[in-house]
Amino acid sequence: MIPLKRAFDEKRQLVIPVAAGLALNVILYAGVVYPLVMRVHNAELRDQAAARELIAAQREDQAARGLLQGRDRTDAALQAFYRDVLPDGLASANHVTYLRLAQLAEQQHLRYSHYAAQPESNSQGSLRRLRITTALTGDYENVRRFIYQLESGPDFIVIDSVSLGQGADAGSPLQFTLALSTYYKPEHGA
């Protein structure tokens, strides 16, 4: 085997330029190429982070738009409810409720014996409440159908409570009292 020093001495003219070229390559790589590679890598990382942030911002934008559209739909539905379902004023609410209860009682063959309506005096907000008490008499199936039709009907009448009773005789019809509420838009200035 040839000792390394002897080989270096014999091939000095070839080894020095190769070693110098290798040293220059290492210096160029460390001083120029590596910083450029790191700059490109950092730029790619920033691009990826920016792409993630863009996607997150687009999701937030879609969520915000969905929220606005939902609010607009809710506002439109509420305005339609106020316009199409709720009566205008106390007299209209009283008339509509009395008429609806009388029609349902007649349809279900119930005897309508009492109706009293009292507007709530200290209502807050844009709606007013009308409390209604009514008493009817009839058999159980008719009472059940009356309550079902009242709850599922197009008018906004809320059943607050139901009281059932029966006469002294075993075959006498049921007597029931309903506490109801409906809401109405107050007249201007009321």
Q: Which domain holds residue 62?
A: 1-84
Dist. CA 138–CA 159, nearest whole Å: 18
Return the axis-axis angle of helices 90-107 and 140-152, rounded to nearest 10°: 140
As given in the structure block, the two tokens for residue 184 are 């109405």
Q: State residue 154's pLDDT score.
A: 85
DSSP assignment string, 44-59: HHHHHHHHHHHHHHHH
Please report the pLDDT score of residue 58 as a whole number. 94
- Residue 123: per-residue pLDDT: 63
For residue 29, the model assigns a pLDDT of 87
pLDDT of residue 73: 92
Q: Which of 32, 64, 84 corresponds to the end of one domain?
A: 84
Q: According to the model, what pLDDT value does residue 134 have?
A: 93
* Residue 47, domain member (yes or no): yes
> Residue 113 corresponds to which amino acid?
S
Considering the domain architecture, whether residues 6 and 65 belong to the same structural domain is answered as: yes
pLDDT of the residue at 85: 82
Last residue of a domain, one of 44, 69, 84: 84
pLDDT at 170: 64
Q: How many separate domains does the chain show?
A: 2
Which of 84, 99, 129 delimits the end of a domain?
Answer: 84
Mean pLDDT by 10 residues, the chain (190 residues): 72 83 89 90 94 95 93 89 83 89 92 88 78 91 91 89 77 85 75
Rg (the chain; Cα; Å): 43
Q: Are residues 129 and 162 in the same domain?
A: yes
Q: Are residues 178 and 95 in the same domain?
A: yes
In a domain, 117, yes or no: yes
